[in-house]
Amino acid sequence: MKRILIICLTAILCTAAHAQQKHNASTPKDPATTPLPPHEKGLVMDLKMEDSKIYPGTRRDIQVFVPRQYDGSTPACLLLGLDGNLFGAITVMDNLIKSGEMPVTIGVFVQPGTSYNQDGTLARYNRSNEFDRTDARLATFIESEVLPMVVGLLTPDGRTIHISSNPNDRAITGASSSGIAAFTVAWERPDLFSRVYSSVGTFVAMRGGNEYPAIVRKTEPKALRIFLQDGVNDTWNYIFGDWWEQNQLMASALNYSGYEFDYKWDRGTHSIYYGTRAYPDAIRWLWRGWPAPVKAGKSMNGMLQELFPEEGSANVTGWEEVTPLGGHKLSDTLAIMISDPEGLHRLSAKPGANKLIRHNGADISKYVKDPYRVLPLHNGDKYITNVNGKIFLLRDKAKKAVKLEGIDMSGREIALYPNGKLLVASEENSNWLISYIIAPDGTLHSGQQFYWLHNTDNHNHTPYGNIAFDTKGNLYIASPIGIQVCDQNSRVRAILALPGAGRKVEAIAFIGSSLYARCGGKLYVRKVNATGWNSWEAPIDVKSQGQG
């Protein structure tokens, strides 16, 4: 009987605790949630997208909201709502545009895709695939497929839709999976959107969203203004993690990195109940001060501060696009480390020349079939990799190259540590770099998976470009998410973002304190508070950073 009583009491307490989590509090109604009279409302047009190149076989509905204040000639601002017209967004926009609390703004509300069998039955939902993944695919879809459907449309009363291309004039919103998606789109493409509202965002371990707090802390701040909303009881599925904890980590990371951000924490669960109530104030805050531009802040990241001590709160990335020198694809000097792989081994190892890399008068390819990367050393020796990722040592006075046996985990990208005693090589199909100790005879031993990199785009063998050291022993890696910078003990401490539409860095090179990077087929340069070191220079002593 006693055992039965305990069980009953436990059930009652659990039921009571569950009941306490339900919404049972009054929230003052925001005036912006009250519909305007019909003659003051904007109009809504319904569109259907029947297929997609980015998401093949999907169909979706799109709504376009055009406020009455839009004149049909001046480009309007944009609010793009993922998951459709959540939060009563259209009503709120009607009110806030009328009151002047947000600019004249076109609303584009996009539903996630669904796919169907030939008989019309549902084949699959595409929502998580579109919204939870942490890459640029959704941003590309919006830019190349959604917005072209909208721009140029005629409203029933004859107005042509024009939307500003300035990211400062654009906001993106969503909830749950579309909440993290709104952040991802702006994070990947700050040239498309500067303002983000994320309600109960799934910054959890579904498709890599749990890594965002770390990535945000390490990456140079971007020109984004972000509003987060979540509740203390927000955990939809413990398999993936705790939504509430992850949103707090995101807030902490954004604060650490100097972003313009705000948040609204409440007692809600995983629903849009409180997100809807927070929405009017969030939208007011996102547009506050417009058209003054959203600015990138200054991170508290020590390595970023060390590399760029002069950068303050101004929205300046510091990168400048440059034209290659000498009429070549790239300058002779840069070609040593940054040119396309096919051209690299055909260019001189020393600045100021433009000829084949030769060894005792013969082309490198005579010694190594399909050479890929060449590291000329101060003593005349060369380390060479081929397209298969094997490492060779070519002695200055030898008649043939020596394949370094047992180096099976090596990759095509290599770099020499500034003291000349370590060689770092990428590992194929991996986010590791191998560190080898160099013996007096130039052979390699004691290789370890040493440098660990953030990896969100592992394809085409290895996702990383070439690698380079500075004189402090910090390693710089061209990667899909920017230039990752590791300390001596192999940890990524900073991620340098590149301007433009893409963040994938194809190649990097140092000339003194100028860091060059190729991104999206363009060449950029930036001054850093560090000095690059190249393999043909005399080895130097490197001050130890300790074992950390």
306: pLDDT strictly greater than 60: yes
Q: Walk me through the domains of the chain, giving residue ranges and CATH numbers.
A: 27-301 (3.40.50.1820), 317-533 (2.120.10.30)
Tell me what pLDDT residue 427 has: 86
**Which helix (H) or strand (E) element contains residue 177?**
helix 177-188
Tell me the pLDDT tens digit for each residue of 400-417.
566 665 555 567 889 999
- Indicate the average pLDDT of the chain: 85
Q: Rounded to an integer, what distance in angstroms lies between the CA atom of residue 211 and that of residue 491?
A: 15
Q: Rounded to an integer, what distance in angstroms lies between the CA atom of residue 64 and that of residue 85?
A: 10
> Are 257 and 297 a contacting pair, CB within 8 Å?
yes
Tell me what pLDDT residue 28 has: 83
What string of DSSP letters covers 252-316? HHHHHTT-EEEEEEES--SSSHHHHHHHHHHHHHHHTTTTSPP-------HHHHHH-TT--SSS-
Q: Residue range 253-261: average pLDDT? A: 97
193: pLDDT strictly greater than 90: yes
Tell me what pLDDT residue 318 has: 84
Q: Rounded to an integer, what distance in angstroms lies between the CA atom of residue 348 and that of residue 344?
A: 9
pTM of the model: 0.88
Confidence band for 16, pLDDT divided at 50, 70 and 90: very low
Report CA-CA distances (Å) from 130 to 121, 279, 373.
21, 23, 37
* Lowest-confidence region among 8-12, 400-404, 426-430: 8-12
* Lowest-confidence region among 32-41, 45-54, 238-247, 347-356: 347-356
> What is the Cβ-side half-sphere exposure of residue 374, based on CA atoms within 13 angstroms?
34
* Lowest-confidence region among 83-92, 229-238, 271-280, 481-490: 229-238
> Are 279 and 197 a contacting pair, CB within 8 Å?
yes
Q: Rounded to an integer, what distance in angstroms lies between the CA atom of residue 165 and that of residue 214?
A: 30
Higher pLDDT, 72 or 10: 72
Tell me the pLDDT tens digit for each residue of 373-392.
888 888 888 888 888 888 88
Tell me what pLDDT residue 450 has: 95
342: pLDDT strictly greater than 90: no
The proportion of the chain whose per-residue pLDDT surpasses 70, expressed as a percent, equals: 82
Token representation of residue 125:
């939902």
What string of DSSP letters covers 210-248? GGHHHHHHHBPP-S-EEEEEEETT--S-TTT--HHHHHH
The proportion of the chain whose per-residue pLDDT surpasses 90, expressed as a percent, equals: 63
Tell me what pLDDT residue 343 has: 37
Q: Rounded to an integer, what distance in angstroms lies between the CA atom of residue 58 and that of residue 147?
A: 17
Tell me what pLDDT residue 246 has: 97
Instruction: List Cβ neighbours of 469 (8 Å cut-off, separation of 6 or more).
Output: 415, 416, 417, 418, 475, 476, 532, 533
Tell me what pLDDT residue 345 has: 36
178: pLDDT strictly greater than 50: yes
Tell me what pLDDT residue 3 has: 44
Q: Rounded to an integer, what distance in angstroms lies between the CA atom of residue 48 and that of residue 74?
A: 26
Token representation of residue 391:
């490492």
- β-bridge partners, 47: 62
Tell me what pLDDT residue 350 has: 43
The DSSP code for 502 is -
What string of DSSP letters covers 77-92? EEEEEETSSGGGHHHH
Tell me what pLDDT residue 360 has: 56
* Lowest-confidence region among 436-445, 518-527, 531-540: 518-527
Q: Rounded to an integer, what distance in angstroms lies between the CA atom of residue 481 and that of residue 310?
A: 24
Confidence band for 314, pLDDT divided at 50, 70 and 90: very low
Tell me the pLDDT tens digit for each residue of 98-152.
999 999 999 999 999 999 999 999 999 999 999 999 999 999 999 999 999 999 9
Among 250, 244, 80, which Cα is nearest to 149's?
80
